[in-house]
Amino acid sequence: MRNEASPLRGRIAGELDRLRREQLLRTLDCPAGIPLTSNDYLGLARDGRLASATADAIREIGRVGSTGSRLLAGNSEDWEQAEREFAAFAGTEAALYFSSGFAANLGLLGALVRPGDIVFSDSLNHASLIDGIRLSGANKVIYPHGDLARLETALARHQSDPGAKLIVTESLFSMEGDLAPLARLAELGREYGAELIVDEAHAVGVFGPEGRGLAYEAGLANEILAVVHTCGKALGSAGAFVCSGGALRDFLVNRARTFIFSTAAPPYLAHQIRAAVGLARAMDAERAHLQTIAAALREGLRSEGFDVRASASQIVPVVAGASEAALAWAESLREDGFAVRAIRPPTVPEGTARLRLSLTAALGGEEVQRLLRACVRARGRSRLAVAARESGA
């Protein structure tokens, strides 16, 4: 083992020291307690029916790995069928599966736009969307989160620029829990000649008729250039579909590097996802329960004076402010039996460190009331600790 100093080893140690000093160091924990960080909104990841469907598929296929890229040995009717079915579910003509949502967004944006084009991107868009835009080399205009007036001004300013225009947004924002005004975004796109891409990672399975997502619910699935649905959250599985017209699918098969140069996902996953969609479609009761407990939590927190932003979903942020406060709140909630994590910069803007409570349909109403009381206690404990420190005690 080498241990002499080198610039890279110095950088690694220096960066870790800095993160530790600034209370920003992230560590990998195995959460214990009532889970409030899970994206398994419908409980499908633990659903025995999904596990059996997967085991059956492995047995029937008689093979686990896909053995190659989709363009080589990795393609199979398993995936073709899953894509046709998912497109029908999403309300689009076609769909193409990627092995993760991150890969889908990198592949899609990296292939679609290029230098000279302009991408209008919400300031709170997911890292995979940001990196996809970066990778493409297109110019980007970041508009303040949800600020359509600012977006419109930017669209107008660039209206006569020669390149292609694209608006990119999440439908349900993962750190704020609020919903994008999709109908108005589509309207602006039409008005100013910009296409629209919508990432439904946190909405699929949870919103829309049978969990088909917010673009479907708004009647826009067919109009939007591409809707990205991930399968690792409410669908309890893994990967993501880019849902679009047939031409965009053909284009991605030829141009999306994360699709072309990556081993196809195992064919049993295609069956798992088909089963997951089938189960999710029938989970209206779970969806309704989830919205009921989320509304109760938001209202309870608001009436206790907490800042839960504009949350309108199963994702409820509780803003603490400083990273240190968010860490203390999370620790207090853990002591009360709730598995939560503090979300700190750079994931969220400076000064808005927070707890991100992510509810699942498995939670009961009584647990949500206990959670509410635990939040009040966490804030109280943390204020006491600050007061004690300031008085030099």
Ligand X SMILES: *Cc1c(COP(=O)(O)O)cnc(C)c1O
Rounded to the nearest whole angstrom, what is the least distance from the CB of residue 105 to ligand X in the complex?
6
285 vs 273: CA distance, rounded Å = 20
Q: Which helix (H) or strand (E) holds 22?
A: none
Rounded to the nearest whole angstrom, what is the least distance from the CB of residue 343 to ligand X in the complex?
13
25 vs 327: CA distance, rounded Å = 11
- β-pairing verdict for 34-35 and 195-199: unpaired
Q: Which of residues 59-118 bind ligand X (CB under 6 A)?
A: 100-102, 105
Question: Of 121, 230, 352, 382, which one interacts with ligand X (CB under 6 A)?
Answer: 230
236 vs 256: CA distance, rounded Å = 25
Known catalytic membership, residue 271: no
Contact between 128 and ligand X by CB under 6 A: the answer reads yes
Question: Of 40, 47, 122, 170, which one interacts with ligand X (CB under 6 A)?
Answer: 170
Rounded to the nearest whole angstrom, what is the least distance from the CB of residue 157 to ligand X in the complex?
27
Known catalytic membership, residue 199: yes
Catalytic residue among 145, 158, 229, 233: 233
CA atoms within 13 A on the CB side of 148: 11
126 vs 116: CA distance, rounded Å = 23
Question: Of 158, 202, 341, 354, which one interacts with ligand X (CB under 6 A)?
Answer: 202
Tally Cβ neighbours within 10 Å of residue 354. Answer: 28
Contact between 201 and ligand X by CB under 6 A: the answer reads yes
R_g over Cα of the chain:
22
Contact between 205 and ligand X by CB under 6 A: the answer reads no
Rounded to the nearest whole angstrom, what is the least distance from the CB of residue 204 to ligand X in the complex?
10
Judge contact between 44 and 279, C-beta under 8 A: yes
CA distances to 295, 341, 374 from 300, rounded to whole Å, are 8, 20, 12
Choice between 173 and 268, CB closer to ligand X: 173
Q: Interface with ligand X by CB under 6 A: which range of 195-203, 299-307, 343-351, 379-387?
A: 195-203
Return residues touching ligand X (CB under 6 A).
100-102, 105, 126, 128, 170, 174, 199, 201-202, 230, 232, 240
Enzyme catalytic residues = 39, 126, 170, 174, 199, 202, 233
